[in-house]
Amino acid sequence: MSSSGRIVATVCLLAAAACGPYSDDSQSAAGSGAPADGNAPDAGGAQNPAPAAGPAGGQQPQQLLVVHDLHADSLSAAVVYAHDVHAKEMHYSNLVTIRDSDLPTSGNQDMKDAGAVSANEVHAHLVHVDLLQVGTLYVVKKPK
């Protein structure tokens, strides 16, 4: 198996393993992206898993990114936990709405004007990006 195949397998396993204790409100939907008006579909559409490769140059994504507000051009992650998500375009395999009390603790620092951000897992209060590519998105509010 090639190294990119192992990475894809690992990302898929991470996304599957994340469906544990936080899936109490297991309304899961396969999303294909937000329509032009910015509202995410509730169900249906083609599945678009998060990309397995890290940033350009062969670097691996960081394991865990914990921030309060994330403002970036793009975010690529296997799993994202957020209170609120705003994205012009989003692709996810699973969308799970959860209670605010079920979210992991977000950080205290904001990440602003970030370019392309890549991480295996993200904990944030607010994610505001142009492009979101994620395997499983755990969110309190429906994405906009």
70-88 confidence digits (pLDDT tens)? 999 999 999 999 999 999 9
- Beta-sheet strand order (sheet of 28-31): 28-31, 69-97, 111-139, 62-66
* Buried/exposed code over 34-53 (b: 16+ C-beta within 10 A; e: otherwise): beeeeebbeeeeeebbbbbe
* Per-residue model confidence (pLDDT) at position 59: 60
Closest C-alpha to 118, from 82, 70, 85, 84: 70
Question: Can you say whether the dihedral through the CA atoms of 19, 139, 51, 61 is positive or negative?
Answer: negative
If pLDDT is split at 50, 70 and 90, which confidence band does 58 have?
low
* Per-residue model confidence (pLDDT) at position 47: 39
| For residue 44, pLDDT beyond 70 | no
- Spatial separation of the C-alpha atoms in residues 68 and 79, rounded to whole Å: 16
- Delimit the domains of the chain by residue range: 3-54+61-139
- Spatial separation of the C-alpha atoms in residues 117 and 1, rounded to whole Å: 27
If pLDDT is split at 50, 70 and 90, which confidence band does 55 have?
very low
Mean pLDDT across 31-57 = 40
Q: Look up the pTM and report it.
A: 0.59
If pLDDT is split at 50, 70 and 90, which confidence band does 62 have?
confident
| For residue 94, pLDDT beyond 50 | yes
* Per-residue model confidence (pLDDT) at position 144: 62
CA atoms within 13 A on the CB side of 75: 40
* Per-residue model confidence (pLDDT) at position 141: 74
- Spatial separation of the C-alpha atoms in residues 33 and 54, rounded to whole Å: 21
